Amino acid sequence: MQSIFRTVVIVRAKSPYVAVVLVALLLAVAASGCVSTGAKEKVLVVGTSADFPPFEYKNASNGQITGFDIDLIKLIAKKMGYDRVEIKDMDFDSLIPALQAGKVDVVIAGMTITPEREKVVDFSIPYWEADQAVLVRKGSGIKVSSVDDLKGKKIGVEKGTTGAIYVKKHLGNSSTIKEYPTYVAALEALLNGQVDVVVLDSPVAKMFSKKYSVEIVYTIKTGEHYGIAVKKGNKELLDGINKALKEIMNSPEWDKLVEKYFGS
Ligand code: ARG
């Protein structure tokens, strides 16, 4: 900018008319420069399914999507030099197709790393562990001490999740399985008595049991690990994510994040 003004000043000394034209021209160039800087803004497009507290959920007061995963991906993006992240909320079931279609750059959604999914997307290093929990209405009297006790029950799950895959595999022939597009819908069905139990990730079940009239009666030790997914073969992005994720996990930022979303 300084050199531009110097030029203008010199020209102005020679001819005021030329100077006016030049100033106008330079302003136009500067303005277009600003616009193109805006267009070059580095945005990381993130897919999630905001029905999974405390990992991703809609803030009750303003509807904003927030949560552990959201803060984490923002920290990662910042470390990687992105100007901002853009969150796209969709059903869990649509996340991998969105990644494959290039509609989102990454998926962070408490997504379990599984061999089946690893065939179609690439995962970061794991950042969280979970099991599957069996949630019932408080006072339902339903007792579960093994997976077999779920036989004959109406089981609610979220479509496309590891919980859904597990119950279909182990109880598909012996119980009624109802698949919902979101956990919010599955939880509603439980509260309404449309299903007897909901099978879902243990940290989220715990969160639901704090907020609603539901309780965990059994945990299926599935030993799952959550990872951030990118399109298969997107090595550059994945390497960047892993590097940033490792740094964050080894820094006090991680403890702050855990405390913020899992602290009492
Ligand atoms: N961990 C489970 C899975 O990968 C459930 C994840 C559901 N996530 C969500 N944001 N609704 O299948």
Rounded distance from Cα 226 to ligand 1 centre (Å) = 9
Q: Which residues sit with their C-beta closer than 6 Å to ligand 1?
A: 49, 51-52, 56, 92, 109-112, 158, 161-162, 183, 201, 224
Instruction: Say if residues 232 and 122 touch (Cβ distance below 8 Å).
Output: yes
Of 125, 163, 121, 128, the closest CA to residue 54 belongs to 128
Q: Specify the ligand 1 atom closest to the Cα of 130.
A: 1
Rounded distance from Cα 12 to ligand 1 centre (Å) = 66
Q: H-helix or E-strand containing 210? A: helix 202-211
Q: Specify the length of the chain in residues.
A: 264
Q: What is the pLDDT confidence band of residue 2, given thresholds at 50, 70 and 90?
A: very low
CB contact set of 198 (below 8 Å; sequence gap of 6+): 134, 135, 155, 156, 157, 183, 186, 187, 189, 190, 205, 214
CB contact set of 181 (below 8 Å; sequence gap of 6+): 91, 92, 93, 158, 159
Across the chain, mean pLDDT equals 90
Please, what's the largest Cα pairwise distance for the chain? 94
SS3 86: strand
Q: Specify the ligand 1 atom closest to the Cα of 162.
A: 12
Rounded distance from Cα 49 to ligand 1 centre (Å) = 8
Pocket mutation for ligand 1, best pick of 111, 208, 228 (most atoms within 8 Å of C-beta): 111
| Residue 40 pLDDT | 86
Pocket mutation for ligand 1, best pick of 56, 104, 107, 112 (most atoms within 8 Å of C-beta): 112
Q: What is the pLDDT confidence band of residue 4, given thresholds at 50, 70 and 90?
A: very low
Q: What is the pLDDT confidence band of residue 15, given thresholds at 50, 70 and 90?
A: low
Domain made up of 43-127+227-262: CATH architecture:
3-Layer(aba) Sandwich (3.40)
How confident is the model over 91-146, as pLDDT tens digits? 999 999 999 999 999 999 999 999 999 999 999 999 999 999 999 999 999 999 99
Rounded distance from Cα 112 to ligand 1 centre (Å) = 7
Of 246, 228, 237, 238, the closest CA to residue 107 belongs to 228
CATH fold label, 129-224: D-Maltodextrin-Binding Protein; domain 2 (3.40.190)
Distance from C-alpha of 21 to C-alpha of 3, rounded to nearest angstrom:
17
In this prediction the pTM is 0.85
What are the start and end residues of each CATH 3.40.190.10 domain in the chain?
43-127+227-262, 129-224
| Residue 13 pLDDT | 45
Q: Which DSSP state fits 42? A: -
Pocket mutation for ligand 1, best pick of 201, 204, 222, 261 (most atoms within 8 Å of C-beta): 201
Alpha-carbon dihedral angle through residues 25, 26, 30, 35, given to the nearest 10 degrees: 10
